[in-house]
Amino acid sequence: MAQQEKTKIVLGTATPGGGFPAYGWPYAEVLNETDETLAIEPINTKGSNENVLSLDQDKIDLGLVTGEVTYEAINGLGRPKASNIRIINATYSQAGMFMVRADSPYRSISDLKGKSIAWGAASSGFIVLGRYVMDGLGLDMKKDFDAHLLEKAGDGPPMVLDGRAAAMWGGGVGWPPFMAIAKGPAGGRFVAPSAEEIKRIQAKHSFLKQTTMPAGSYPGQQGPVDSVGSWPFVLCRATLPEDVGYRLARALHKGQAALSKKLDQAKESTLENTLAAAPTRDLIHPGVLKYMREVGVLK
C-alpha cells in the first residue's frame, strides 16, 4: 500500500522510561501491522496533562492519559473542561503504590512521612493519583514528604537504588521504573495503603477504585498488592473521523493476542474492559461504539 494512502495518526505517550512509552510503541506497531491503512506514530510528551491539552487543541490525534487526569479533564476540576476528548480504549488497571528497596526499613505510608520520595515526572498522571491518595489520608504529597518531581520517570530508580530517595511512587504491572528497582542488587518491596487506609481514601475520593496487582507482577513479589487507582485510556480528539476510530478499535481487537505477547499488561486492553472503565458511554468514540455493536460487545 502506498504511503500516501495510509492514515497518519500521532500518539502522545509520556517521558522516556515510563509506562506510557512502554505501552505506546508496541501498541502502534501491532495496530499498524494489523491494519495496513493505519500509520500510528508514537511520540514522547510530558505525559497525561500535556496530552489532554494537545488533544483538546487538535494538536495530536491520540494520547495516553491516566484515569485521574481524564476524570479532572471531563469535569473541569482544577483546569478548563476538556470537551474535545473521547475514548478509544482502556489500557490496563493501574493502582498507585510506593516501591522501596527490599532492605529498606519502611513498611507503611506513615513510615515514609518526611522521607525523600521520587514522585515521578512532574506532568505525569501518577502525580495526580499520588495527590488524591495522599489527600485521602490527610497528607500533602509536597508538604509531608521531601518531594522530588522528576524530568522523566526514568530518573527515579537510580535515586532509590543509591539511597537519594527512600521510595518511588508509581504503579501498574510491568512499569519500567519499578522493574528497574526490583531488578537492583537489593531487590524491591511495595508499600501500599492498608485496608483501612483504602477505605479512608475511597470515602473522600469515590472515583478511585480498589485494584489488586497480582502476585509475581515483579521479580521477588510474593503476594498480591491491594491499592486504589483507575484505568488509563488511549484518548482521541473528538474530531477524529468515525471511520478512523472504527479501524483503531478493530485493529486492537484483532491484534490483541499479538499485543499481549509483546506486553503482558495489554491483556487487559479489551473492548469489554473499555466499556466497563469508561466514565460514561458517551465518552467512547462513535467509531469504537460502532465496532463494539458489530462484534456484539454492545447491544
Question: What is the homologous superfamily of the domain 3-92+231-294 according to CATH?
Answer: Periplasmic binding protein-like II (3.40.190.10)
Q: What is the pTM of this model?
A: 0.85
Query: For the chain, which residues make up each domain, given as ranges?
Result: 3-92+231-294, 94-230
In the prediction, which pLDDT does 2 show? Answer: 47
Q: What is the C-alpha separation between 192 and 250, in angstroms, rounded?
A: 37
Which residue matches cell numbers 526499613? 105
pLDDT along the chain (299 residues), means of 10: 77 93 97 98 96 97 95 93 96 94 98 97 88 97 96 95 97 92 97 98 92 91 94 97 98 98 94 94 98 96
What are the start-end ranges of the E strands in the chain? 7-12, 38-43, 62-65, 85-90, 94-101, 116-121, 146-150, 167-171, 188-191, 209-213, 225-230, 233-237
pLDDT on residue 172: 86
Q: Grid coordinates representing 63? A: 494520547
CATH number of 94-230: 3.40.190.10
Domain 3-92+231-294 shares a fold with domain 94-230:
yes
Q: Can you read off the three cell numbers belonging to residue 22?
A: 512502554
| Cell digits of residue 152 | 522523566
